[in-house]
Structure 1
Amino acid sequence: MTEDPGTARVITLLVVDDHPVVRDGLRGMFASAPGFEVLGEAADGVTAVELTARLDPDVVLMDLRMPGGGGVAAIAELIRLGARSRVLVLTTYDTESDTLPAIEAGATGYLLKDAPREELLTAVRAAADGRTVLSPAVASRLVSRVRTPAAPAREPLSVREREVLRLVARGTSNREIAAELFISEATVKTHLTHVFAKLGAKDRAAAVATAYERGILG
């Protein structure tokens, strides 16, 4: 049974990316494709959460690494708020430290920016219907992770992640960490999400314990 084009559902979107050229390109692409409407744009995760709450789009196209608030923290906040919108990550990064936290935070799908136009349009339609969409590279990483959940070789913590973890070990709150390191609370949460993923820890206490056990914190 085919849908009458005159009554076909229009999928509404919010485009989140810190690069204006990328936002313009995506807006233009969806404007030229029938059945889509871009309701707004955001340049960081914090604004994305605010606009999602106000505009209630079907799908949020979310970049991950953005100054002023990353995508993983924004996804987690949208899930916490019970937002109806589905989040489809669209990024250039397919490393495990980016992929897994985004999926675990609640992203419906994960695509890379080099995806063909038709693949992206199809993915947005699928996300709007609540179906999971993963690029082949991301899917293979997730399958590998499931097969070897306790693999000992993990990505090392970055300098900033170590700084955040040291402060966590002292009992410092996210707000205090943000003030001490001159970053936003959302960025602190993003660093912690990466730390948890890299250490295989589910919370702050487990991350600190694992870090001491591995000699990361001395």
Structure 2
Amino acid sequence: MAALTPLAAPGTATATVDIMLVDDHAIVRQGLRSILERERDLRVVGEASTAAEALAVIGRARPAVVLLDLKLSTSSDTEGLELCEELAAQHPQLAVLVLTTFLDEQLVLRAVQAGARGYVVKDVDMTGLVRAIRDVARGESAFDARSAAAIIRGLKAPPAGDDKKLTPRECEVLGLLARGLSNRDIGRRLYISETTAKFHVGNILRKLGVTRRAEAVYEASKMGFI
């Protein structure tokens, strides 16, 4: 997968970071593209407005960084998180940087758990955003001051009692798991890769505190998930 072009020698052109924008508002993507491409080392190579479109475009755009909004539709508040999980599973070397209007300690923690390397709020100044993009492209993490504070609050907070709550996608996977389907068959049914299906199954086992698929189905039935 393409990441950064080789570091340039002194006096030559700098390395370029290829970026993909994932946001359901075209005007936001246009504004970001216009601003980011003023930087000599940043280049927008793709755009998407939905999770499905992002997964389709990313294969040919081959970005190093995905700038991802968490809310990609009015019907779901978790679609961006689910996309982040799929990107992390299918493209582990890809740097996902969340850029969103939502700032909640549990949401920030969930984004990190889903594989995001950074989290910034949309009213961040452009200097901070550009710095965050460069940081995650180098393999570092990047959080603005408020996101970092939210993570600390979330880590210090007592369990909210919903740490076993499954996402809508995990509930779909669990339903197929209960029918005895393999990871490959689950992937085919849900139009996701076998690796992504395995990732979701692993999350389900972890949340339910079990190690085997049959145990997960049993625990889920007791808890009313299925």
Per the normalisation by structure 1, the TM-score is 0.70
Is there any run of 5+ residues in structure 1 with no aligned partner, and where?
177-183
1:109 and 2:105 are equivalent in the alignment = no
Of 120, 127, 130 in structure 1, the residue corresponding to residue 139 of structure 2 is 130
- Residue 41 of structure 2 aligns with an amino acid whose one-letter code is G
| Alpha-carbon distance between aligned partners in 1 of 2:153 and 2:91, rounded to the nearest angstrom | 30
1: CA distance, partners of 2:210 / 2:118: 22
**SS of residue matched to 1:126:** helix
2:109 is the counterpart of 1:100: yes
1:9 corresponds in structure 2 to 15
CA distance in 1, matches of 2:123, 2:209: 32
Between 64-73 and 36-45, the greater mean CA deviation after superposition: 64-73
Structure 2 partner of 1:179: none
Task: Give the corresponding residue for 1:56.
Answer: 62
Q: Secondary structure at the match of 2:39?
A: coil
1:189-204 correspondence to structure 2 within 5 Å: none
Q: CA deviation at 1:121?
A: 0.6
Instruction: Give the alignment partner of residue 43 of structure 1, picking from 49, 54, 65.
Output: 49
Instruction: Check the 8 A contact 2:105/2:153 in 1, yes or no.
Output: no
**2:33 corresponds to which of 27, 37, 45:** 27
Deviation, structure 1 residue 212: 9.4
Structure 1 position 140 matched with structure 2 position 149: yes
Counterpart residue type for residue 74 of structure 1:
L
Cα distance in 1 for partners of 2:133, 2:91 equals: 20
2:84 to 75, 78, 93: 75
- Equivalent residue letter for 2:105: E
Q: What amino acid does structure 2 have at the position aligned with 1:87?
A: V
Question: Secondary structure at the residue paired with 1:94?
Answer: coil
- For 1:151, the equivalent position in structure 2 comes to 159
C-alpha contact (below 8 Å) 1:56/1:84 kept by paired residues: no
- Secondary structure at the aligned position of 1:110 is classed as strand
Q: Which has the higher contact order (CA 8 A, sep 6+)?
A: 1
User: Normalized against structure 2, the TM-score is what?
Assistant: 0.67
Q: How does 1:139-218 map to 2 (within 5 A)?
A: 139-148=148-157, 150-152=158-160
Question: Aligned letter for 1:89?
Answer: V
Which moves more between the two structures, 3-12 or 121-130? Answer: 3-12
Runs of 4+ deviating beyond 6 Å:
170-173, 199-203, 205-213
Q: Which 5+ residue runs of structure 2 have no aligned equivalent? A: 1-7
Q: Give the share of equivalent positions with the same residue, in percent.
A: 26
Question: Given the superposition, is the C-alpha separation of residues 144 and 34 from structure 1 closer, same or farther in structure 2, using an over 3 Å criterion?
Answer: same
Distance 1:210 1:22, change over 3 A: farther
